[in-house]
Structure 1
Amino acid sequence: MVYRLHYTQILPVDVNTAWDFFSQPANLCRITPDWLCFDIRFAPDEKMYPGMIIEYVIRAVAGIPMRWLTEITQVQKPYFFVDEQRLGPYRFWHHQHLLKEAQGGVEVTDLVHYSLYLGPLASPLHVLLVRPRLEEIFTFRRKALTEIFG
């Protein structure tokens, strides 16, 4: 089963300012909750480009470290990029980051499609743990972006 998350917010900045922020992997730490213990192990000191590999470790469940390897597969500066998990906790992870000029700033959209290992057996795990944790992460992200950009 493939699940979907969709979050949108307006930030009071122009699209290029938003792009400059979102296209730098180091800024992921600023919009990720501390309890996830997000630790970038490898990321080039460059803005997003197709083929970029980012390696990090998270501690999403009981403090157990999980390695996550992401590839940036598509980039259309300053409006769009996609990250896809190559190695990590999900069977499938496809995350679209969309930036669109809007009245009062830029509309920022996260559209995530993901699936879990274990197929239909993972459904209770998804309902009880995975979906609530992802919602918590994106709620934190929304608040952090509001604090960063006003």
Structure 2
Amino acid sequence: MRTYVLKKEQSIPISLDQAWDFFSSPLNLAKITPSDMSFVVTSDYTAETKMYPGMIITYKISPLLGIKMDWMTEITHVDEKKYFVDEQRFGPYALWHHQHHFKAIDGGVHMTDLLHYAIPYGAIGRFANTVFVKGKVEQIFDYRTKVIEEMFGKL
């Protein structure tokens, strides 16, 4: 199984407390996901719910041609105001390990997303990654960068 890596970094002019408060709320993920994915959190959480180790989050997504899929992730690690990790438990990937890192800097917060993912189905999966998946994943993270910048500004 081939594993792919995507790393994105962004600095925004808000406090570490504000960044952690926003990004550690599962419901805010839909706000920074492209609308064409029809992303909906189906877990029964409120806006006040914050991530914790062992938390299971379920979603409905439409990553391709409007076909709806179920996706489940688990928050496996949390070090408050430093990082959290979500890992897929059920969904389209053979592996999904996404680290979200936060660091206070002069004038704001520096955020780093580090994603390791793999596609099932051997050679077919590698072909799908080359033709479609890699571009789609990059598009999603580029969209997030843009929306986060619109919401919070840019350093």
TM-score where L is the length of structure 1: 0.97
Match of 2:19 in 1: 18
Deviation at 1:99, TM superposition (A): 0.2
Matches of 2:123 and 2:16, distance apart in 1? 40
Among 89, 95, 100, the residue aligned to 1:86:
89
Q: Does the 8 Å CA contact 1:10/1:104 hold for their aligned counterparts?
A: no
Question: What is the aligned-residue RMSD (CA, Å)?
Answer: 0.9
User: What number of residue pairs does the alignment pair up?
Assistant: 150
Task: Point out 4+ residue stretches in structure 1 off by more than 3 angstroms.
Answer: none
Matches of 1:71 and 1:26, distance apart in 2? 14
Deviation at 1:119, TM superposition (A): 2.1
Deviation at 1:4, TM superposition (A): 0.3
Q: Which runs of 5+ in 2 are unaligned?
A: none
Alignment of 1:1-150 (within 5 A): 1-45=2-46, 46-150=49-153
Deviation at 1:101, TM superposition (A): 1.1
Deviation at 1:140, TM superposition (A): 0.5
Matches of 1:131 and 1:113, distance apart in 2? 12
Matches of 1:43 and 1:26, distance apart in 2? 10
Q: Does the 8 Å CA contact 1:93/1:113 hold for their aligned counterparts?
A: yes
Matches of 2:97 and 2:36, distance apart in 1? 23
Q: Does the 8 Å CA contact 1:43/1:53 hold for their aligned counterparts?
A: no
Find the residue that maps to 1:42 and give its secondary structure.
coil
Matches of 1:119 and 1:14, distance apart in 2? 43
TM-score where L is the length of structure 2: 0.94
Deviation at 1:120, TM superposition (A): 3.1
Q: Does the 8 Å CA contact 1:13/1:105 hold for their aligned counterparts?
A: yes
Aligned identity (percent) is 46
Find the residue that maps to 1:78 and give its secondary structure.
coil
The one-character-per-residue Cα deviations of 1:14-43 (angstroms, maximum 9, x if unpaired) are: 111100000101100110000010011114
Q: Does the 8 Å CA contact 1:23/1:48 hold for their aligned counterparts?
A: yes
The one-character-per-residue Cα deviations of 1:46-97 (angstroms, maximum 9, x if unpaired) are: 1000011100011001111111001000000011000000000000100000
Q: Which runs of 5+ in 1 are unaligned?
A: none
